[in-house]
Each structure stands twice: as structure tokens, then as C-alpha cells.
Amino acid sequence: MTNTFKTALLASAMIVSASLSASAAEHIINLLNKGADGTVMVFEPGFVRAAVGDTIKFVPVDKGHFVQNLPGLWPEGVAEVKGKVSEELVVKVDKDGFYGFKCAPHYPMGMVALVQVGNAPVTDAIKAISVPGPAAKRIAADLELAAKP
Ligand SMILES: [Cu+2]
């Protein structure tokens, strides 16, 4: 084996390992009292498309928010998550599906986020999930985004 060939092999091995580690992305969702469009009490972005193995990091830019999974809009068999008031929450998504999140104190104001993981399709069953009040509008808008290729 020539040295040049060895160097080329090593370089390609390094590229492979770099792309493997880069394949698990971290998605940041900020917890805000006011969004860019003026909406109060929001997750921003409110919709995220992620791959299996990625992590979702909820960042408490503003205090007083409290992230939990949205019961009913959560993949079967995945452990539920619950953050703490004003604290960061990191969730690793290891299964295809729709992961809904709510901020417990502001849920009545519609503070929800939706993460689409993998190739989760927008089924009638997903669309039929009912959430209260303003949250329903946001989830419906998120599902429209999720249905786009
Ligand atoms: Cu909140």
C-alpha cells in the first residue's frame, strides 16, 4: 500500500465518521413570552422536522415556562417527558412519530409545539386528535406544514 493511498483511505474514513456524527442534529426551540410575529407565549419555532436520533433542546429564553409532552400526541411506547419551570429540557427522539409538547401554565393560551420525526405521515387519526382552544389551531397549522414534502 502506498503512502498516498493510505492517506486517502484515512481521509475518507475521517469524512465518514464526521458525517456520521453530524447526522444527529440538535434542534433548538426557544420558550418565549412573545414570538417574532407578536404572538404571546410561544415555542419558537413551533414546528420542527427531525430525524430519528436527533435531539430537541428547549431553551428557556424567557422564564416561567414549563415543558411537558402533550398527552395523546406522543408516539406509543415512548417515555413521557416533563421539564421543570424555567429550566432547559433536552429530548432525544429515537422513534418515528409526532411529538407534541405543551407549556403547562400557558397551554390554555395555545402554547404548544410539534416535532415530526422521521417519515411520520399525517394520518386522519393524527388530525383527529383534539386539543383545547387556541392550541388546536396551532397544531392544525403545524400538521399542514408536516404534510408538505
Ligand atoms: Cu409557557
Distance 124 CA to ligand 1 centre (A): 29
pTM: 0.84
Distance 142 CA to ligand 1 centre (A): 18
Beta strands, E only, the chain:
26-34, 40-44, 47-50, 55-59, 67-69, 89-92, 97-103, 112-117
Q: Could you report the per-residue pLDDT of 95-148, keeping only the tens digit for each?
A: 999 999 999 999 999 999 999 999 899 999 999 998 989 999 999 999 999 999
Among the CATH numbers 3.30.70.20, 2.60.40.420, 3.90.700.10, 2.60.120.1310, which is that of 24-147?
A: 2.60.40.420
Domain boundaries, given as residue ranges, for the chain: 24-147
Distance 51 CA to ligand 1 centre (A): 26
Distance CA 133, CA 131 (A): 7
